């Protein structure tokens, strides 16, 4: 019986570069208040959000991804032709097929890189990062581009008081490559499909197509249920990721949770008993909830502002529709 030759990949993987793109249009809470009965004070107190970015017609999912990816590739010090795979996490690319990853791979100038989309909501970046790590260690790619990108303004019901103020647009990307030492810890991930109704699309596309509903589908959620789940259950997952990496909260330099809501972030910091020395990402204030893009966008901003630095140890955790989640510890590029 023939024996299959073993794969020869790198011993470990690491994030080598990061890039982000935020649309040019900045939307303050005052614009949201034109269509819902609320106040700037209420929005800030409930979410921490002051502004968000909304894309124009030219700032497509692909266009934003190309911009963010170009920065990440340059930051990593490689060329696009060295990218062996492109993984895109998004829920707001409206073409069922082909995957937007193939368009992005071509526009970047990769050498026929493997390219595919994944749908894991706000945990999508963590899912993509885990897949990239596996490819590099297994040997099927030397460098993998992981992109989280959303145009959630297309899926926002501006008359829904519970969600109209939450969502923003943008793209974040990282290049994952080989490492001689561990720099991406074990991923703690999973799903709780019994809670899928708490964050969902209002109706299937077919209901809109067939005229059963007149309103274009949007994202809706049960705010209190999501808040309780995120605060109590995701803090446990974050702790499991720390344990899996063999470190404690005292060893952390940076905490980059999904930028869903500042109250959720504050509660997780408290539950995890993070030291005051830990830098906490609060990109949600000016970027809003960008789902799969939120973690790489927050990471990029922390590094750009100097709030975090290369070599810092960071805990990242994403969680959202599904319900799904993914957490890991990484060394920042």
Q: What whole-number percentage of the chain has pLDDT above 70?
A: 100
Residue 7 has pLDDT above 90, yes or no: no
Mark whether 122 is an active-site residue. Answer: yes
The arithmetic mean of pLDDT across residues 28-54, rounded, is 97
Q: Residue 78's pLDDT is what? A: 98
Residue 194 burial (CB count, 10 A): 8
Residue 1 clears pLDDT 90, i.e. is over it: no
Question: Could you give the CA distance from residue 294 to residue 275 in angstroms, rounded to a whole number?
Answer: 23
Counting every residue written for the chain, the total comes to: 333
3 state SS for the chain? CCCCCCCCCCCEEEEEEEEEECCCEEEEHHHHCCCCCCCHHHHHHHHCCCEEEECCCCCCHHHHHHHHHHHHHHHHCCCHHHCCEEEEECCCCCCCCCCHHHHHHHHHCCCCCEEEEECCHHHHHHHHHHHHHHHHHHCCCCCEEEEEEEEHHHHCCCCCCCCCCCECEEEEEEEEEEECCCCECCCEEEECHHHHHHEEECCCHHHHHCCCCCCCCCEEECHHHHHHHHHHHHHHHHHHHHHHHCCCHHHCCEEEECCCCHHHHHHHHHHHCCCCCCEECCCHHHHCECHHHHHHHHHHHHHHHCCCCCCCEEEEEEEECCCEEEEEEEECC
Sign (positive or negative) of CA dihedral 213, 218, 219, 221: negative
The one catalytic residue in 29, 53, 93, 122 is 122
Q: What values do phi and psi take at 182, rounded to 5? A: -60, 130
**What local confidence, expressed as pLDDT, does residue 8 receive?**
84
Active site residue 53: no
**Cβ atoms within 10 Å of 41's Cβ, excluding its own:** 9
Interhelix angle 262-272/234-245, rounded to 10 degrees, is 50
- Segment 241-263 shows an average pLDDT of 97
pLDDT tens profile 91-115 = 999 999 999 999 999 999 999 999 9
List, for residues 153-212, the tens digit of each pLDDT value. 999 999 999 999 999 999 999 999 999 999 999 999 999 999 999 999 999 999 999 999
- Check: CB of residue 46 under 8 Å from CB of residue 3: no
**In this predicted structure, what is the pLDDT of residue 6?**
80
Instruction: Decide if pLDDT at 81 tops 90.
Output: yes
Question: Residue 64's pLDDT is what?
Answer: 98
Are the C-beta atoms of residues 331 and 311 closer than 8 Å to each other?
yes
The model's pLDDT over 260-318, given as tens digits with 9 standing for 90+, comes to 999 999 999 999 999 999 999 999 999 999 999 999 999 999 999 999 999 999 999 99
CA distance 259 to 262: 7
- The greatest distance separating any two alpha carbons of the chain, rounded to the nearest whole angstrom, comes to 72
Q: Note whether 231 and 271 are within 8 A (CB).
A: yes
| pLDDT for 219 beyond 90 | yes
Q: Beta partners for 201?
A: 219
Instruction: Tell me if residue 289 is catalytic.
Output: yes
Q: What confidence category does residue 13 fall into, taking pLDDT thresholds of 50, 70 and 90?
A: very high
Q: C-alpha angle with apex 319: 317 to 322, nearest 5 degrees?
A: 150
Q: Which of 29, 53, 261, 289 is catalytic?
A: 289
* pLDDT at residue 140, rounded to an integer: 96
Q: Is the pLDDT of residue 223 over 90?
A: no
Q: What average pLDDT does the chain have?
A: 96
Instruction: Identify any residues that bridge with 89 across adjacent strands, giving them in sequence order.
Output: 118, 148
Whether the upstream peptide bond of residue 98 has omega within 30° of 0, thus cis, is yes
Instruction: Check whether 132 has a pLDDT greater than 90.
Output: yes
Mean pLDDT of 206-233: 92
What is the predicted pLDDT for the residue at 93? 96
Average pLDDT over residues 16-37: 97
């Amino acid at each position: 019986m023939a024996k299959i030759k073993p794969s020869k990949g790198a011993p470990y993987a690491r994030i080598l570069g990061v890039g982000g793109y935020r649309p040019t249009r900045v939307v303050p809470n005052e614009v949201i208040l034109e269509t819902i009965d609320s106040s700037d004070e209420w929005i800030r107190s409930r979410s921490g959000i002051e502004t968000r970015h909304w894309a124009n017609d030219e700032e497509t999912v692909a266009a934003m991804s190309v911009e963010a990816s170009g920065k990440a590739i340059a930051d990593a010090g490689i060329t696009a032709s060295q990218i062996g795979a492109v993984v895109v996490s998004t829920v707001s690319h409206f073409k069922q097929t082909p995957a937007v990853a193939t368009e992005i791979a071509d526009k970047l100038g990769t050498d026929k890189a493997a390219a595919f989309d994944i749908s894991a909501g706000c945990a999508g970046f963590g899912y993509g990062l885990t897949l990239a790590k596996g490819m590099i260690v297994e040997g099927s790619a030397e460098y993998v581009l992981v992109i989280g990108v959303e145009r959630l303004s297309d899926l926002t019901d501006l008359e829904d008081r519970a969600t109209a103020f939450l969502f923003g647009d943008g793209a974040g990307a990282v290049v994952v490559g080989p490492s001689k030492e561990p720099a991406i810890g074990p991923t703690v991930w999973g799903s709780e499909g019994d809670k899928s109704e708490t964050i969902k699309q209002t109706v299937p596309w077919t209901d809109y197509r067939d005229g059963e509903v007149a309103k274009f589908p949007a994202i809706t959620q049960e705010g209190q249920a999501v808040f309780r789940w995120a605060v109590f259950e995701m803090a446990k997952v974050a702790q499991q990721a720390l344990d899996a990496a063999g470190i404690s909260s005292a060893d952390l330099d940076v905490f980059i949770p999904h930028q869903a809501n500042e109250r959720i972030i504050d509660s997780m910091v408290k539950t995890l008993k993070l030291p005051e020395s830990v830098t906490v990402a609060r990109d949600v204030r000016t970027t809003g909830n960008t789902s799969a893009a939120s973690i790489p966008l927050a990471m990029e901003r922390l590094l750009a502002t100097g709030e975090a630095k290369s070599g810092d140890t960071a805990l990242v955790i994403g969680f959202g529709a599904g319900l799904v989640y993914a957490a890991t510890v990484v060394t920042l590029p």
